[in-house]
Amino acid sequence: MADLDPTNWATLRRAFADATGWYREVLARVGDRWAEPGLGEWDVRALAGHTSRSLVTVETYLAQPADAVVVPSAVAYYQACRGIMAGPGVARRGVDAGRALGDDPVAAVAELAGRVLPLVDGLNGDELLTSIVGGIRLVDYLPTRVLELTVHTGDLCVALGLPVEPPALPAAVTLRLVGDLAVADGRAGALLLAATGRGGLPAGFSVL
């Protein structure tokens, strides 16, 4: 992982592709369990739908070019999104996205990935897109999609009783962004102590 750099476009593209591949592998193991509990109020279908939005939003936002950078980094994106993520709309969008996957969610996600991954591969990362919180460069937005894919595929694994074993590169990109968020918010101490076996995290701790 010596080349891991949050601004390295080739690394981010590989991480995004690997995270998408893991997501598809886990979806292929759902079978007939789509209505079982997923995460919080979501069933497995809604959780899978929410996860699919990590691909959908890349495609949608790129179709809405921005005129200027409003959100300068992946950390700034999450900081700007906190009020939105705490609202009831997130749960509803997950349910709606799950329904949008139709009768064959595995095939629907395969089709989605077949559009989005080549789209990203054909870009250089400097493209300005319009996110839910304003203009952001693709190279700064994509790490947030890697994190969402990696974390929520892990949630799917937990819901299905599977081991949580993300591919190395998405895991590294995700952990780096988690660390950057903790540092930016002055919460690195608790995370460092917990990660090195020196105590648990406070109840409700999250960097998001």
Helix (H, G, I), strand (E, B) or coil at 198: coil
Prediction pTM value: 0.94
Report yes or no on 184 lying in a domain: yes
Question: Could you read off the pLDDT of 81-121 as tens digits, one per residue?
Answer: 987 876 677 788 889 999 999 999 999 999 999 999 999 99
Kindly report the CATH number assigned to the domain that includes residue 51: 1.20.120
Q: What is the sign of the dihedral through the CA atoms of 1, 145, 186 and 194?
A: negative
Report yes or no on 72 lying in a domain: yes
- Alpha-carbon distance 178 to 192, whole Å? 11
Report yes or no on 5 lying in a domain: no
Closest CA to 19 of 207, 150, 202, 185: 150
Closest CA to 159 of 66, 45, 52, 55: 45
Report how many domains make up the chain.
1
Report yes or no on 18 lying in a domain: no
Tell me which residue range forms the domain holding 148: 25-193
Report yes or no on 205 lying in a domain: no
Question: Could you read off the pLDDT of 127-186 as tens digits, one per residue?
Answer: 999 999 999 999 999 999 999 999 999 999 999 999 999 999 999 999 999 999 999 999
